[in-house]
Amino acid sequence: MKIIDILNSKEVTLSYEVFPPKKDMPFEPIVAAVDKLCMDKPDFMSVTYGAGGGIGHNTIKIADHVQNDLGVTSLAHLTCISSTKEQVAEAIEGIKAAGIENILALRGDIPADFQGTTTCDFRYASDLVREIKKHGDFCIGAACYPEGHTECEHKADDIRHLKEKVDAGVDFLTTQMFFDNNMLYNFLYRIREKGITVPVIAGIMPVTNGKQIARSCQLSGAELPARFKAIVDKFGDNPEAMKQAGIAYATDQIIDLIANGVRGIHIYTMNKPDVAQSIRNNLSHIIGSDRK
């Protein structure tokens, strides 16, 4: 099923993200985590692109398992910055062969251990969107950044680039993680004002490890509000307390988003079924218990 159809047919959607194993890491624990997450019957599950700059065989393998074995709609991530047109075409055909109709088109980052040279086949995610459309009738998603892309100096330029990406053929957007909902509300106002009307799904990262948050914010450009900093300062050295506080904070964020009309919630699960399921249980009457 196409994700745009799911978004248009439901009052509120809840979806999860998982990532494939890193190089030389076992595959089975990831599959076990995915199996547990799919028991929640999320509206769809996205699978991030494989590390190392390859064509994402593990991404396709997991997305295939999610959709064809577990019965949950899959969204396969696809990056392009360090890939040739031939590699991207191979990945798209692999996604198509698995019967997956949804692709999240990302420029991506050059892997730290990448040994080749970047090509000029794809410079931006918009280039990838156009390429995907040549290969079939896919539902195409893309990323957006409520606090601005880390490589874009001015937010106005970032929104202009986003408009170009959407105009290339994007059906929906998913946000980078954020911890201050006012950032999203302001962002939504600004993009609607510029004519970007596709659905925007809010990406929520439950922070259950105080030591990881600084690195995550450095990569994403997300700012930590004072309320969240106080939580990390107080509970960051107590793993169980931080986990409980992180789940509570993410739940509070989601409740506020839904109350203010946001219709799509996407949880970056970090392959932790217990965390995602705790949040899901906290929302049992807010989103509804029937996820079928």
Instruction: Write down the catalytic residue from 17, 101, 131, 147.
Output: 17
Per-residue burial over 276-291, b if 16 or more Cβ lie within 10 Å, else e, is bbbbbebbeeebeeee
At residue 187, φ and ψ (nearest 5 deg) are -65, -45
Residue 269 structure tokens: 């699960």
Half-sphere exposure of 112 (CA within 13 A, CB side): 2
Strands (E) in the chain, as ranges, are 13-18, 45-47, 74-79, 102-106, 139-144, 172-175, 200-204, 264-268
At residue 174, φ and ψ (nearest 5 deg) are -125, 135
Task: Count how many residues are written for the chain.
Answer: 292
Angle subtended at Cα 164 by Cα 186 and Cα 169, rounded to the nearest 5 degrees: 105
- Asked whether the CA dihedral 73, 134, 142, 113 is positive or negative, the reply is positive
The DSSP 8-state label assigned to residue 120 in this structure reads S
Q: What end-to-end distance do the CA atoms of the chain give, in Å?
A: 13
d(CA 265, CA 160): 24
Helix (H) or strand (E) holding 232: helix 226-235
Residues pairing with 265 in the sheet: 14, 202
17: annotated active-site residue = yes
Q: So which residues are the catalytic ones?
A: 17
